[in-house]
Chain A
Amino acid sequence: MSNNNAVAAAAFAELQETARESWERLREKPLILIGAATCGRAAGALSLLEEVKNEINRLQLDANIIEVGCMGHCYAEPVMVIYNAGFPAICYGYVKEGVGARIVRDFLTEGDPGIEFALAALEPNDLFPTFADFPRGVHENKIVLEQCGFIDPQNIDHYIATGGYAALVKALEMSPEAIIETIKSSGLRGRGGAGFPTGVKWETCRNAPGTPKYVICNADEGDPGAFMDRTILESNPHLMVEGLAIAARAVGAEQGYVYIRAEYPLAVERVTLAVQQAREKGLLGNSILGTGFNFDIEIFQGSGAFVCGEETALIASMEGKPGIPRHRPPFPAVSGLWGKPTIINNVKTLSYVPHIMKNGAEWFKSIGSEKNPGTAIFALAGKVINTGLAEVPMSTTLNELIFDVGSGIAGGKKFKAVQIGGPSGGCLPETALDTPIDFDSLTGAGAMMGSGGMVVLDEDDCMVEIARFFLDFTQKESCGKCTFCRLGTKHMLDVLERITRGQGRPGDIDLLQELAAKVKAGSLCSLGKTAPNPVLSTIKYFRDEYEAHINEGRCPSLMCKDLIAYYILPDKCERSCDACVGSCPVEAIHDNEDRIKVIDQKKCVKCDSCMVACPPQYKAVVKLSPPHLVQEKEKEYREGKKQWQKK
């Protein structure tokens, strides 16, 4: 073995040498990074890339441009970073059409860094603040996301040059038992949602009889509102590949799979390339780095079924069947893919592994809290200002995450709730904002860590509607196998639908709670067991909203379409402005005898266009709930007019 180790170390040193050379060569010239993960692309990153390339060609500048992943500042997409000698590296945000070319031109030809477009500098300097100088930077502690957005995900040399695959080499020198011991004592808990100790899972699998054994990376990120795994795989796929190889070494597997949902085509592409490059470098395949350890990875594309995030359903799907969970035990670690011992770990879980191997269990335990060591990675979305990815130590509070990292609520609106954990999680109100973010505290508060989706809701968001939305989701995604999930969620959804339509009945809240308790207790898999959480948590914290819907036919947040009507305030309407009329897709707006715009309620499809179109200085279009208030308002107007005419 020791001889093998020397061979591996020598082979790896050579790889590192080549990688470092190519990495350093990049920085010899000005270097431009463009964030082109899916989120960046949706904001126009690819045309920015084109624009910057053209500008550089036009000016015949000598600079390197690389496409990188996402560094988490999704709110400011497209994002660009420039390293220019003599200046600190600067990160630019909201780089709209024309701006990219201008920044590059000014900076590279005239030495004007264009700080009016800069978000922050990346290294301390006396010119410009860094991310660490903002409230966000105080809380952020990037481990898994560290390299995301700073290296080319399509170039394995970048990963190796920044320390990649050294942990695998270290693991190859260690005994499998020692690797498991390290992971166990680090206290790493599975980031897929339930928080099961990773080391224990590995140990069970290692000790289970039967060969071959399999390791699977679960990248079937199906929670609506979560995009951490996508970002990690698009921005730094090698981190997961390395983690999976270490897991394989620990449990004694020679074959690994990455199960990625087909809805993430870019992630599929990046991981496929990463595996191929690792194979070419001898970091995957037969006798890795000459050690005699064989391990290879195949990609399996999920076909779109949320339930496949459940381990046994994922396995069924890989075996060519519908993704239908089975009773556990036996757990997959004992009897998994093709009946063989199999471990399934989430992308984030595996991404911590190389860092723990490199820095040790003690280091990992020093971050976060005792029972929840390490960091939490959250996808911040919804009504928060700084949407994007954030990595903070476990036990950071919700308040800090939403108001410091996320900079609070957009548009000066009032915070109402935060939805955590997707369809399995719950909505927590303002009073719960001091809850520390970790597996146990969130579950205690009625939500769930889930896989890390966090959608912030403001005063315009109806809590009954959000409960209905999630139940609609789980009901559609239920595999339909077991009675409670198939029929229990269907009945619950029917009740919620009638409430949001204004047809709620007295007793509906009790019925929902009863059904929820039974579905939780009786369902076969965790999809069913957690499906009622969004309903239970909204009833717990926002019962008054349910009651307003049921008892008054009123949606307090003015969101439920059947319970609102659009109305144009006569005293605010400017009369000669036709913005709303032009925006209406169904010609429901016309002038009344006073040339004030009036909405024909029979024609109105409640598409919101007029409200958006009405110029902000008038703000004449409002929503009313219950909808019959419109008639009252119209009557008021007519009577007011009569009075005025009499005078």
Chain B
Amino acid sequence: MSREKKTDKTGTEMTGAQMVLQALADQGVEHVFGYPGGAVLPIYDELFSRKDVEHILVRHEQGAVHAAEGYARSTGKVGCVLVTSGPGATNAVTGLTDALMDSIPLVCITGQVATHLIGNDAFQECDTVGITRPCTKHNYLVKDIDSLSRVLHEAFYVARTGRPGPVVVDIPKDVQFAKGTYRGVTNSQHKSYNPKTVGEDDRIEKAVELIAKAKRPIFYTGGGVINAGPEASASLRELVRLTGYPITSTLMGLGAYPAADPQWLGMLGMHGTYEANNAMHDCDVMICIGARFDDRITGRLDAFSPGSTKIHVDIDPSSINKNVRVDLPIIGDCGKVLDQMLATWKKRKPSIDKPALKRWWSQIDQWRERQCLAYKTKSDVIAPQYAIQRLYELTKDKDTYITTEVGQHQMWAAQYYRFEDPNRWMTSGGLGTMGYGIPAAVGVQVAHPDSLVIDIAGEASVLMTMQEMSTAVQYNLPIKIFILNNEYMGMVRQWQELLHGGRYSHSYSEALPDFVKLAEAYQGVGLRCEKPGDLDDAIREMIAVDRPVLFDCRVDPHANCFPMIPSGEAHNNMLLGDEAEEKGVGDAISEQGKILV
């Protein structure tokens, strides 16, 4: 049948399954990550004959969602997932929650049992919209074929506009078979959902005035800048350079501002740098752009940056005044607001307090001299920090994308791998999902087939979604899984050392597989490195291989991730690596702090 695009009111007759594929094509979707099952068979039947949408078969639905996240975050496009009813949908829940927490635009299509069976405890039935309601930005159950195309287009609109997020469209099998009228993409305004993207002019003026008058300013930026597209990062760079002010960023915001720039202070927060956290604590004007004052960032709330005037730019009004009361909220898209600020700044040409700024920078330089990321190297065992540094040095001139799992290796990657551009860093920030890295790398590599895609992993996390190695092999995706193998769930072990008297309850990675043999079993390539002296050659070999690689990098099992703001402490009360070694870390956390996560 003809599948010509028609956007006029007449529409085109087709089945529900055809509508799904047509809507994806009309939305510019080129890749769908999915796994078939009974309730989505009509859609898979359409995929069989369709050439414009490529389906990537994963090995577990969680992997499909993480792959779509990696795809979305590295391209700025909406990631797309297709799974079946029941277990297909429930397996997707972790990924959906992850995408919600990190504001990643996704559309996840789930099959559902036929309309007349809903509520009947049918085979592979679950209440998908009920289960996914709290872990999606929005979800739909489509019972009427004539609303299907509208809902599908609306799902993409909701996913990518405002604060991006995952959207589920649950389609019963009978609706996939039913025939109805397909309507293309329209530009009509949504009746109730129309997020505000442009900041209010008087607030922009006020913000520019506050920024110009600051004596100890700091830019604190987050994933919102990345989500606002590369133009937003460009505008951020321009504004920050125009002011000459220091800038720090959250885990999710890395790459929006280049790490090589002298104004960059490194990441802030629980494992942020000494200079970034102290600057946050002592600043007089904080310019928060697209970050949400998360508890990993603020530390102890009543001691969080006590003397500062806070400007907060966010597209989501519910992020404002949630944890920290701010003085000047601006609701809008980070990119648009940054452009408005730039225009106002250029028009007003405000004079900044240069002597004060000079004093501020010399204070920051003193903090920098503390060398908070220094670590001890040994000749016989690889320090994990060193492994990341070497990986960075040997890949920085290539077209590289980094994903991670969750734990110590993730923090070391954030600290020691330096990002110069946005969309190059994919990590699970909000939910902290172990097992994110391999499938995310699969998604990134699908989107960027010729780039170098590396999952910086831990040996425990990586086993959670190891089966996606098979996906990588099937589609010739030469992802590099760089495992910092310390034989422990490192961050759990670190917390047990800090909080629980060194009783390492169930955090030792016993009975680990031989990762080299495991790679070979998957028909990938396995590499192992145990000595610092062999590391560079081994990394070079990994990069040179044009197949999926599992790199078993054996590192110091006892290394801890520092600096660290102990739970329940303030920014200016950081625990540094050398101190911790001297006085022991056993009593670093207060009784009150121990109950926190």
- Please indicate whether A and B come from the same complex rather than being unrelated chains: no
